[in-house]
Amino acid sequence: MELNELNGEERLALVGLMESVATADLRSSADEAAEVDEVATALGEEAYRACLDESERRFGDEAALQTFLRTIERQEARELIFSYAFDLAASDAVGRSETAILDWVALEWNIEVHFEEP
């Protein structure tokens, strides 16, 4: 599955989750910005901005985002969304707050996380 195959709700989940991960440690690195730019380019700048605006409007706190993420049903979309959020967190040092978000999503969405040896 590719980003362009996500429906509107799944795109909103992607952007909302990435925003949550990006702001979890209260700092943003150049590597994180590059990950976000990759998604924005793939979705289209205007579509990405619309999702970001909607995310900020609808998800005032982590509980609101979690409630919404529970509505995403396609497992293939869940795995793609999670992989982008995970890559964002892994682009710099992964903090406890980022880990907590990703752990919750992995458990809720039934995603097994595997680490490959370099």
Nearest CA among 29, 28, 2, 25 for reference residue 14 = 2
For 22-46, write each residue's pLDDT tens digit. 888 766 677 888 899 999 999 999 9
**Helix, strand counts (H, E) of the chain:** 6, 0
Instruction: Give the separation between CA 74 and CA 103, rounded to whole angstroms.
Output: 19
Q: Tell me the two tokens of residue 113.
A: 């996380």
pLDDT of residue 98: 86
Q: Are the C-beta atoms of 66 and 108 separated by less than 8 Å? A: yes
DSSP category for residue 106: H
pTM of the entire predicted model: 0.91
Q: pLDDT tens digits, residue range 53-70? A: 999 999 999 999 999 999
Binning pLDDT at 50, 70 and 90, where does residue 91 land? confident
What mean pLDDT, rounded, does the chain reach? Answer: 90
